[in-house]
Each structure stands twice: as structure tokens, then as C-alpha cells.
Amino acid sequence: MVSQESLSGVIERNRYSYHLSEVIRQRAWVEIDLSALSHNVVQIKQLLSPKTALMAVVKADAYGHGAIAVAQTVLEAGANALAVATLGEGIELREAGITAPILILGAINTPEEIAAIAHWNIEPTLCDPQQAIIFSQTLSQWEKPLSVHLKLDTGMSRLGMPWHQGTEFASLVKKLPYLKLNSVYSHLATADDPDRTNMYLQHKRFKTAISQLKAQGVKPPRLHFANSAATLIAPQLHYDLVRVGLGLYGLYPAPHLRSIVSLKPVLQVKAKITQIKTIPANTGVSYGYQFVSDRPMKIAVVGIGYADGVPRQLSNRLQVLIKGQRACQIGAITMDQLMLDVSHLRHLKVGDTVTLIGQDGNQEITANHWATMLGTISWEILCGFKHRLPRIKKKSAQLTSEVKI
């Protein structure tokens, strides 16, 4: 006979869900505020004239924010088109039912990729004549025209035809069958620098190349040049559309741009305390004993580590937020866990939330803070959070559902 106590235990256990979608949020996660994302789109569009469209850059899984949910949100908020880096990223959006124009910023060179682009109605970037010829020859098998964008290298020294050869390149593309010129564009290398000399030099080259194109009877339907930084500071570079990435996600390309527009960070990184204990003085913490306690300390173990995207180089430098207060990380950050000195914090318990990036009370830690300590850029920090951290949508301070990653 089953005792009443055992029966109660079975009933209690049945209250819980054992599905992956429920348990994965019990350790660590990335929280995405879609309302902040919409706010940023509106703020950026207010900087644009009515004739200038907004292309939202959602490459690299929308800078780690979750490409599908981000793409859907920015389009609903007023973005006109999307940009990705790879063919796979574009197909992922199409398979999710997104029909907006999608530009691939990277180079496509094989017939197999070209066929997939044509099938999914995605728009490629053409960078040199040989690539354009391969596109035309491949498309001839289906007798299907494809909208293409020509990229000129005006000083980035990355993808693109040298700007002074732009006329020959565009004239070739115009003559090739099955290629329909959609736009000509270039990319800025130093728009976030307070010294705008190089930005203006690139712009001069771009204007010269476009003038030469038009003189030869090649009139591009659209031009685009501005990235996030140039969108904020240089209306004369807006042209027919702007390509905005970092600004959408609530971060500024450089500190001196903060006063131009009010942006809200979209991403927060959170984890839970998994154990609390007290260690005596002269006790080593974590691998290699990079930290040794100088007094009895209360420490908290947190379920997140460098395999989740918390750089090991932040060991003994990282600060986190707990209940609106700061706590210092101690010892080497390990693959799946890290330790905190919480001696000054009272009433902590296992399961309490730790904010690594984000706001808690009046305190805030941003991706820029991490980037400054590491001597890198916030772009790299955002893109570094691994996919074993679920992306959770945040609405009105409530965790609601997962973002497809």
C-alpha cells in the first residue's frame, strides 16, 4: 500500500515540467528585450529623411540576439530590409516565413550557392567581374533574372571592386544577362572615429565613382554607404538606405555618439547561483589558485563560464550584479562555472539571479564595460555568447518564451 506521504510526493513531482524548453532556463540565459529593440528602430528612423530606408543588419544571429525574432521585430517596427553575412543566414530567415528583401554582405562564388540564392529570392553582393560572370552563366540555366548589389572598395580594403574601376565593373554587369542592378554601395572603415578625415575621403571616392558611372550611362537605382556610426553623425551619407547593426541592439559604436540618440540595450546575460559556502583564510579558489582568500569569505558558485561566452581573460576582473549590488568574481573562470565573493551580501540563496550584463536596480554593466577591460569591441562581446545559452524574450519584465536560435 502506498503511504499518504509517498502519494503526496508523486503529486508534488507531477507539478513540474521535464521538457527541455523549461529546464534550460534554470542555469543561465540571454534575455532579449524586444520592446527595447523596437524603440531603437523608431529612434534611428527619426534620424532619416522619408526617402531613406532602413536596412537592419541581422548577421551573426543578429549579433547574438536571435536572428528570427529580431528580424520579425525590426520589420514590424519599421525597418525596410535585412542584411546578413552568409547564404545560410538568409535561408534561415526565409524558412521562418520572412519575405522582406535580404542582402547577403559576403561573397558568393559557386553555382550551388547561386542556385540557392535564386530559389530563395535573396540578393547577393557582387565584388568582381569573374564573380558576376559566374552568376550570369549559372542563372542562364533557369533563365531567371536576379537582383544584385555591386560593392565598391573605397578604403576598407576588404570585399569590393576598387572604386576607380567601378565604371568598368558596373558596365559589365549591366551587359550580362539575368543580372538586374539593384544598388551600388561601399563600406566605411573609420566612421566611429572622432577624426572624420578618412570617412570623408572614402565618401569623396564614392561620389567620384558614382559620378563616373552616371557619365557612362549607368544610373544605379539605389545607393547606400552609411553604417551605424555614419547614420548617427552624417546625414549626407544616408543616400537611399542606411545599414544599421550595432545601434539596433542599443549600443553605440563610440562613446562620443551617445548624445545623438537615445538607445536601449536589448540584451542581458543572467545566470543563477548554484551553491553558497564559506571558505577560510588562505584558501585557493579555482584552477591554478589565481586567487587566494585573505580572510574567511562567503562565496557563491554561478552556473556560467567561458563555454557560454564569458571570456576567461576576465578572471579576477569581472563584476556582476546581485540584488542591485555589485560583487567581484574571484579565481579563474572555468568552462561552466565561476565564483563570486559575496561576503558583503546578506540573505542570498541558491537560485538567486546574477546579472553579468544588464541592469539591476540602479546599477548597470554593459558589453562595452567588458570590451574595455579586454581591449576589444562590443561587437565581439555580443557575438561571443554561445548557443547553449537560450535566448529568452522579455516583455514587461516577464520571461515569456524562447527565441529560436
Which residues form the catalytic set?
59, 287
Q: Measured between alpha carbons, how far is 115 from 117 in angstroms, rounded to an integer? A: 5
CA distance 176 to 273: 61
- The rounded distance, in Å, linking the Cα atoms of 322 and 363 is 10
Q: Is 335 annotated as a binding residue?
A: yes
List the beta bridge partners of residue 32: 267, 393
Q: For residue 194, give Cα distances in angstroms to 151, 224, 226, 255, 372.
A: 25, 22, 16, 10, 18
Q: How far apart are CA 40 and CA 246, in angstroms?
A: 10
158 known ligand binder: yes
Grid coordinates given for 255: 562613446
Residue reference for cell 561601399: 186
Extract the C-alpha cell encoding 388.
Answer: 547553449
Which residue stretches of 78-196 are H helix?
Answer: 87-95, 111-120, 129-139, 166-175
Task: Report yes or no: 143 and 178 within 8 Å, Cβ to Cβ.
Answer: yes
What's the grid cell of residue 336?
561552466
State the DSSP string of 266-285: -EEEEEEEEEEEEE-TT-EE
- Type of residue at 288: G
Contacts of 34 (CB under 8 A, 6+ apart): 69, 73, 266, 393, 394, 395
Task: Evaluate whether 313 touches 332 at the Cβ level (below 8 Å).
Answer: no
DSSP annotation of 288 reads: G
Neighbours of 52 (CB within 10 A): 18
Q: Which residues are registered as beta bridge partners of 393? A: 32
Q: What are phi and psi of 336, to 5 degrees?
A: -120, -5
The three-class DSSP label of residue 102 is: strand
Cα–Cα separations (whole angstroms), residue 369 to 7, 169, 266, 374, 385:
52, 43, 16, 9, 15
Cβ neighbours, 10 Å, residue 99: 9
CB-facing half-sphere around the CA of 27: CA atoms within 13 A:
14
272 CB neighbour count, 10 Å cutoff:
18
Binding-site residues for substrate sit at 158, 335
Q: Which residue ranges make up the annotated binding site?
A: 158, 335
